[in-house]
Structure 1
C-alpha cells in the first residue's frame, strides 16, 4: 500500500497566517468554509469564497496571474487550480470540489498534434489586429497569442489603453459570448481571457502590449505568442 505522506504542519501554519491576514483585510468572513488539498510533496492549496463572491486561494484573490503562479508552484495541483478558476468564471464557488485531503491528480495529457490552422480565419484575425495597430490601440501584432481550433482561431493581444482585444475587438461580454458560440472547443480559453481582462480593468489603464507574453492557454495545442 502507498504510504500516506506526512501532514504538512509547517505549511498549514503558514497558510493559516495568510488566511488571518485575508480576514483582517476584509476579503473573507471569519469561519468561512475553506477547502484544503495536499500534495505528496508537502504543498497545500486552500480555497474559500470571499465576501465579494470571488474565490480566494491561500489568502489571495484567484486572479489569472496568481492562478498561473500557483500552477507553476504546485504541478500536482495544476488541474485543481484550473478547476477552481473555471468554477469562479461560472459562479459555482466551491461546488464540485473534491473532499479535503491528499490530492493526486493525473498528469496533464500529452501534447496533441497541432490541428490544421484555418488559414483564412487566421488571415482575417491578423488583418483585424493590424487594423488595431494602425489605429494606435496596439503597438505590435507580434505580441499576439494565437490559439487555433477546429473551426477557426483566436488572436488575443493587449492594447496600449489597457484593453484586451481578441480577433480585432475588445473582449466585451457580448463579443466573448459570440466567440464561445463560434468556437465551442475554445470556450474555456475565452473564459480565461475574460478573467484576465477583468483583472486588467481593476487597475488604471496601462500599456498591456507584453502582458500575454508567456501566458498559458488551457488548450494544449495553443500556438503561443507569435
Structure 2
C-alpha cells in the first residue's frame, strides 16, 4: 500500500527469529510496491478503510502475501476478497505460502479475521510435510452418492459427472460434489443449500471444513452469471485426501 511506511515493511520483512543478518534474503521491493498499489486500489474502491491494519508475509523466493480485514469483515488478500477462486490462484502463484493462504481462508470461513496469524516477516523454508494417510473410500456411501447424482444427470441438471470431487471421511461417509449445467453446486445428489450442508455436517462431521469451502464456492458461483460448471471443481481441492477428477 503506498500509504504504508516503506521502512516498516522492510523492518518486518526481516523479522525471523534466530536468523543471521547476513542470511536474510533480498528485500522484494518491486513485489512489495506492486502489492501496495493493489491495496491503494482496494481503498479507492471502498473495500477497506485507509490505514487498516495490514499483515504481510514474505518468502525467500520473493513472493509477498499481504492480508487485512475489509469494511464488511471479510478477509482481503493482496487487495482482493479472499474468495475460493482467489485462494486457489494465490496457492498456485506462491506455493511456499500455500499453507498461509489456507490459514487465512479457514479464518475467513470461521469468521475469525486475522486472529492467530503468525508474525509478519520472512517465512522460513520448511521441509514439505507428507500427506495424511489416504482414508479408505466408503464404497457403500460412494455408491449411494453416485446413485443420487445419476438422478440429477437424468433430470438434465448435471452432465455425466466428469470432474466430480470425491472427499472420503476417515470414519466412513463421503462427499461427492459436482458442478451443474445450471451453475449450481450439488453434493451427494442435492444442491448445497444451508439446510443440506447442515444435514451433511451431522452425517460426516469430520468433513465440516470441506463443506464450508464448498459452500463458499457455491456462493461465489451464484453471484456470477449462470454457466456450465461441469469441470469447475477440477483442481479446486488441495487436500491430498480429495479425489478429482473422478
Quickly name the TM-score band, shorter chain normalised: over 0.9
Gaps of 5+ in 1: none
Q: Are the aligned partners of 1:148 and 1:222 in contact in 2 as well (CA < 8 Å)? A: yes
Measured after TM superposition, the shift of residue 177 of structure 1 is 2.0
Superposed CA offset, 1:5-39 (max 9, x none): 22222211111011111111111111111111111
Superposed CA offset, 1:89-141 (max 9, x none): 11111111111111236455313443221111000000000011111111122
Q: Are the aligned partners of 1:148 and 1:154 in contact in 2 as well (CA < 8 Å)? A: yes
Q: Structure 1 residues 193, 16: CA separation in 2 closer, same or farther (over 3 Å shift)?
A: same
Gaps of 5+ in 2: 1-18
- Residue 205 (structure 2) pairs with residue 199 (structure 1): no
In structure 2, the residue matched to 1:111 is 131
Residue from 187, 191, 206 that aligns with 1:185: 206
Where 1:142 maps in the other structure, the secondary structure is coil
Q: Are the aligned partners of 2:162 and 2:231 in contact in 1 as well (CA < 8 Å)? A: no
Larger C-alpha radius of gyration, 1 or 2? 2
In structure 2, the residue matched to 1:65 is 85
Q: TM-score, normalised by structure 2?
A: 0.86
**Alignment partners' CA distance in 2, 1:105 and 1:187:** 30
In structure 1, the residue matched to 2:180 is 159
Superposed CA offset, 1:172-219 (max 9, x none): 12221222232222222111111111111111222211111222243x
Measured after TM superposition, the shift of residue 55 of structure 1 is 1.2
**Alignment partners' CA distance in 2, 1:107 and 1:193:** 29
Q: Structure 1 residues 190, 106: CA separation in 2 closer, same or farther (over 3 Å shift)?
A: farther
**Alignment partners' CA distance in 1, 2:54 and 2:121:** 12
In structure 2, the residue matched to 1:169 is 190
Q: TM-score, normalised by structure 1?
A: 0.94
**Alignment partners' CA distance in 1, 2:227 and 2:183:** 5
**Alignment partners' CA distance in 2, 1:186 and 1:212:** 17
Q: Are the aligned partners of 2:163 and 2:245 in contact in 1 as well (CA < 8 Å)? A: yes
In structure 2, the residue matched to 1:130 is 150
Q: Superposition RMSD on alpha carbons, in Å? A: 1.5
Bigger CA drift: 82-91 or 185-194?
Answer: 185-194
Superposed CA offset, 1:148-191 (max 9, x none): 11221110001111110000111112221222232222222111
Bigger CA drift: 160-169 or 182-191?
Answer: 182-191
Q: After TM superposition, where is structure 1 displaced by more than 4 Å over at least 4 residues in a row?
A: none
